[in-house]
Each structure stands twice: as structure tokens, then as C-alpha cells.
Amino acid sequence: MSAAKGMIIKMYDAVIIGAGVIGAMTARELSKYNMSICVLERSNDAAAGASRANSGIVHAGFDAKPKTLKARFNVEGSEMMPQIAEELGVPYRQNGSLVLGYNDDDRKILELLYRQGQENGVRGLEILGGEELRKLETAVSRSAVCALHAPTGGIICPYELTVAALGSAMDNGAEFLRNFEVSEILEDKDSLTIYASDGRSVKARYAVNAAGVYSDKIARMVGDDSFSIHPRRGEYLLLDKDCGGIVDHTIFKVPTKKGKGILVSPTADGNLLLGPTAEEQEERDNTDTTAAGLNDIIAQINEEAEGVPVRAVITSFAGLRAAADTGDFIIRPYKTRMVHAAGIESPGLSASPAIAVRIAELLFELGLKTEKRADFKAERKSYYWFRRLGAEEKDAYIKDHPDFGKIVCRCETVSEGEILEAIRREPKALDLDAVKRRTRSGMGRCQGGFCSPRIVELLAREQGIPIERVTKSGGGSYLNICRTKGGGQA
């Protein structure tokens, strides 16, 4: 794997460090131009960090302080999102959000948010009284007396968006290097050489730092210590699809100093999501859930929505928000060859399409010379194309492609054909979690109990590796240790 001494190191016009939603969106944006692009990712798949575990909300944009980068890119990004989601085949729904108030003080805060939203350019905002509120959302807590309604708020699956954006970039020629943990960056006259901890390296005429919670470390590698990242961990509970219809809107409480607080929202896939908590921490790889955090969510839910059956939890998870000490997004060039996209916490997902466009502009300003391609392919086939077919169409397709008639994941009705497609199509799913992120197999009620052994077999077969080399999420996350018989046993 490692580049031998004297070997020619491949040079790219742009190297993007980090395959989260910012890196993936940026890669896609740049792939509209004639240039060579490479995305580096420290994990085994795209969307392995903050983009894997967040609320999946496309915020309307009233929350960010006017004149901040957060405000600007949130509003711009969420306006772009419907079209991008359509092009990438990612489920997106403009379900609208509600911020609940419980007393007169809260109403004042809502009015402030309303004015802030107006100033940021958010369309359609309105403040509702208790009666109008309940007409719009029946399950809302009885104690809520007023609410800010933002009809342009939406929901999208953050990792599906990320994988699809990277896939679209790759369809248009971008390259993707996994398990590439950047350890050193050397600058010379006309390029940066970026080394991985395993010895591999690439050369970049220009680089984009989209490394999430590690973006300050990347900045330090090129000599920039102007900001630091303070990860904030958020825990979530995900409920069965039976509960997805309990609320229609994304429901927040009035924000406090700590942030937007715990939300209740349907997800784009039809589950119900509760969370997040907000816990500052030093470690950049600690995504543990805690009993206290999960209990905290459960204790707060009734203030927002009634009749949420916490019994129906199918999984809990935690994600890190890459908050910067500056409090705002950091989107700016450093010297002549790097553009930072750092401190991308909420509303980073919403802002990602606009941030990607801005990063491209900044690269051009630095001197990247290129022109738009005529052959850019914007459309990407959705991972859901098969399940969206009607029964007759499915039947006709299965006649020629029998793998699509073999159901592997019974909870989410995912066929072997769809799983093989996820394994074979760029960016290829190389592990169990990657298959899950693309197909939803294993994401249902049984959480992979029935389907994971079969998916493990398919992953092994397609990659030509033994079953005991198949992992849950790359690295050392093996699922099986050895064979039980034939001399391979423990």
C-alpha cells in the first residue's frame, strides 16, 4: 500500500481532506469543473464522523445570528437543498419546524428569532398561538402556548446525502482514498504533499480542509493555529417506524445558551428521532452514549410532544459536533494553497451546498484555473430506485435480475440485488455499517440480527476476502474471529 521511495506521487488539482458532508459536497461541486480531484478519508467509508450522527435537519435559518457565516450559508444552503436532494436521489421532505414557547418570556424569544429570521432572509416565518399550533400539529405538548413556525425547515438523511454527493463526484471522475489518516503536510513551491500515517501520500495543487473535529489539527500541519475545535457530543434515540407519524414537524423548544436543545422529529426515512444532548468533551473519537444522556432525553420529551412511546426505541447513538472556539463557521483560505472549512457544526448540514460553492470560489481566488465541464452529470440514481417501483415494475425487473427478488433484510425489505449494488457501486460499501447506510438493511427493528450474517457473506464474496476479515465499520471492528473447525479455531 505505501508508496515506495522514488515512486511518483500522484498530483491532483484539488485534494479534499475529509469525506463528511462538507468534503463530499465540495468534491461534487468541484467535479463540475475540468480538474482532478481526490477525497481523503481517515475511516473506511464516507460520512463516518459528524455526518453519520446528527439530527438530519435542514434548518430554515432563523437560529443563526445575522451577518454570521452560519446565517448566510444556512439560508443559502437550505434554499439549494431541494434541488440537490432531487439530483442525488436522496429523500428530502420540507416538513416545517416549530419552536415551542411555554410562557410570555418564551414568546419574546420567539419574536426575537422571528426578527432574526427575517433579517437572515428566511421565508414564511410566523408566530402561532396555542390554538393554531395544535391545529398544525396535534401531538404537540399541551403546555406549549405559542410557537415559531418555519415552513421551509426540512429533513434529510445526512449520511445518505454525504454518500450520494461523494458518489456523484466519483461518477464525474473524483477519486476517493479511504483509511487515509493525514499525518503530515509538506509545502513546496507549487504544491502540498499530504502524507498518511500508513505511508501513502498524494500531492495537491490546492487542498480543502474539511476534516471535521480534526480540522484544527490539519490546520496546524500547515502552520495555522488560529482556531481550535471543541467537540460537543450529542446523544440520540431512534424510534421504530411505527412512531414516525406521531409528529409531522420538527419540534424544538426555545433555545437556551447551550443550543437548540432536544428536538422531536420524524426522519426522512420515517422513524422518529429524539435528541440531541450537548456535552463538551476533549476526545475526538468518543461517541459513547451515556445512561444520563439517554435519560435526559426521555425526561424532556413530554415537554414537546405527547404520546411518544419511549418503549419503541430501536437504537441510540451519539455524534460529535465540530464546534470551533470562534463560534462561527471558519471558511477562509490559509496562505496560498489551502481553504479551511472548519467549525462546521449545526447548521452545517443545511449549509453544506452553499459552503461547497463558496469553497470553490475561494479556490478560484487562490488561483485554481479551470472551466466548467459540459459533460457534468448532475443526476445520480437513488439507492431507493428499486423500492420506489410499483409491484408490476418490480416483478418485471426481477424477471431479468433475480437477486432483487431475494429479500435479505426483512424489517426494511431490502433485497440481495440492492445490497450487491451498494457493495459494487462507488463509493463502494466495504463493511456492514456502510451497507446499512446505503440500503437501510439492518436499520430496522431487529437491528441486523437476521440479515447481518448474509450481508457478511456477500461482503466477503464480493471483495474476495475471508469472512473473518469482514468488519462492522473498518479498522479492527471484526465480526468473526476465526473458523470453528479445520485447524483455524481459537
Partner 1 sequence: MNREQIDLIIVGGGPAGLAAAVAAYDSGVRDMLVLERDVNTGGILQQCIHNGFGLHRFGKELTGPEYAWEYERMAAERNIPIRCGTTVLNVSPDKVVTAVNSDGVSRIEAKAVVLAMGCRERSRGALNIPGSRPSGIFTAGTAQKYVNCMGYLPGREVVILGSGDIGLIMARRMTLEGAKVKAVCEIMPYSGGLARNIRQCLDDFDIPLKLRHTVTAVHGRERLTGVTISETDEYRRPIPGTEEYISCDTLLLSVGLIPENELSKGAGISLDPITGGAVVDEKRQTSCPGIFACGNVLHVHDLVDFVSEEAALAGKSAAEYISGGLDEGAPLDLKPDGKIRYTIPQRIASRDEDVKVYFRVDNIYKNVKIKVINGDKTIFAKKLAAAAPGEMESLTLTGAQLAECGDAKLEFVLEAG
Partner 2 sequence: MKQELTCIVCPLGCALTVEIENGEVTEVSGNTCKRGADYARQECVRPMRVLTTTAMTEDGRVIPVRTDSAVPKETLFDCMAEVNRVKLHLPIKRGSVIIKHIAGTDADLIASKDIERGI
6 is a contact residue toward partner 2 (CB under 8 A): no
Q: Which of residues 370-399 bind partner 1 (CB under 8 A)?
A: 391-392, 394-396, 398-399
Using the minimum distance from each CB to partner 2, give the nearer residue, 188 or 489.
Answer: 489
Query: d(Cα 8, Cα 478) in Å, to the nearest integer?
Result: 34
> Which grid cell is 131?
390554538
The single residue among 429, 452, 458, 459 that binds partner 1, judged by CB under 8 A, is: 452
Least separation in angstroms between residue 484's CB and partner 2 is 7
Query: d(Cα 464, Cα 461) in Å, to the nearest integer?
Result: 5
**Buried b / exposed e across 31-56, counting CB within 10 Å, b at 16+?**
bbbebbbbbbbbbbbbbbbbbbbbbb
Q: Burial-class residue 149 by CB neighbours within 10 Å (0-12, 13-18, 19+).
A: buried
Using the minimum distance from each CB to partner 2, give the nearer residue, 313 or 467.
Answer: 467
Q: Coil, strand or helix: which one is 369? A: coil
481 is a contact residue toward partner 1 (CB under 8 A): yes
Least separation in angstroms between residue 456's CB and partner 2 is 15
119 binds, among partner 2, partner 1, none (CB under 5 to 8 A by kind): none
Using the minimum distance from each CB to partner 1, give the nearer residue, 345 or 416.
Answer: 416
Q: Burial-class residue 361 by CB neighbours within 10 Å (0-12, 13-18, 19+).
A: exposed
Q: Report the Cα 396 to chain-centroid distance in Å.
A: 34
478 is a contact residue toward partner 1 (CB under 8 A): yes
Using the minimum distance from each CB to partner 2, give the nearer residue, 6 or 486.
Answer: 486
> Which grid cell is 89?
436521489
467 is a contact residue toward partner 1 (CB under 8 A): yes
Q: Which DSSP symbol is given to 154?
A: E
User: 79: how many CB neighbours lie within 10 A of its CB?
Assistant: 18
Q: Which of residues 193-252 bind partner 1 (CB under 8 A)?
A: 237-238
Query: d(Cα 284, Cα 133) in Å, to the nearest integer?
Result: 40
309 is a contact residue toward partner 1 (CB under 8 A): no
The interface mask with partner 2, positions 456-485, x = CB under 8 A, is ---------------------------xxx
169 is a contact residue toward partner 1 (CB under 8 A): no
Q: Which of 352, 359, 400 is nearest to 81 (CA)?
A: 352
486 is a contact residue toward partner 2 (CB under 8 A): yes
Using the minimum distance from each CB to partner 2, give the nearer residue, 374 or 490.
Answer: 490
8 binds, among partner 1, partner 2, none (CB under 5 to 8 A by kind): none
| Sequence-ordered list of residues with C-beta below 8 angstroms from that of 375, at least 6 positions apart, any chain | none
Q: Burial-class residue 110 by CB neighbours within 10 Å (0-12, 13-18, 19+).
A: buried
Q: Are strands 37-40 and 11-17 parallel, antiparallel or unpaired?
A: parallel
95 binds, among partner 1, partner 2, none (CB under 5 to 8 A by kind): none
Using the minimum distance from each CB to partner 1, give the nearer residue, 145 or 407.
Answer: 407
468 binds, among partner 2, partner 1, none (CB under 5 to 8 A by kind): partner 1
391 binds, among partner 2, partner 1, none (CB under 5 to 8 A by kind): partner 1
Least separation in angstroms between residue 483's CB and partner 1 is 6
**Buried b / exposed e across 128-144, counting CB within 10 Å, b at 16+?**
beeeebbebbebbbeeb
Catalytic residue among 59, 149, 249, 340: 59
Query: d(Cα 460, Cα 476) in Å, to the nearest integer?
Result: 16
205 binds, among partner 1, partner 2, none (CB under 5 to 8 A by kind): none
448 is a contact residue toward partner 1 (CB under 8 A): yes
340 is catalytic: no
Q: Which of residues 427-446 bind partner 1 (CB under 8 A)?
A: 445-446
Got the DSSP string for 437-448? HHH-TT-STTTT
Least separation in angstroms between residue 489's CB and partner 2 is 6
Query: d(Cα 81, Cα 95) in Å, to the nearest integer?
Result: 13
Q: What is the CA radius of gyration of the chain?
A: 23
Using the minimum distance from each CB to partner 1, give the nearer residue, 6 or 476.
Answer: 476
Least separation in angstroms between residue 448's CB and partner 1 is 8
> Where would I find the beta strands (DSSP E) of 45-112?
57-58, 92-93, 97-101
Using the minimum distance from each CB to partner 1, give the nearer residue, 8 or 490.
Answer: 490
Q: Which residues are catalytic?
A: 59
Instruction: List interacting residues with partner 2 (CB under 8 A).
Output: 483-487, 489
Instruction: List interacting residues with partner 1 (CB under 8 A).
Output: 237-238, 285-291, 293-294, 313-317, 391-392, 394-396, 398-399, 402-403, 405-407, 410-411, 413, 415, 445-450, 452-453, 457, 467-468, 471-485, 489-490
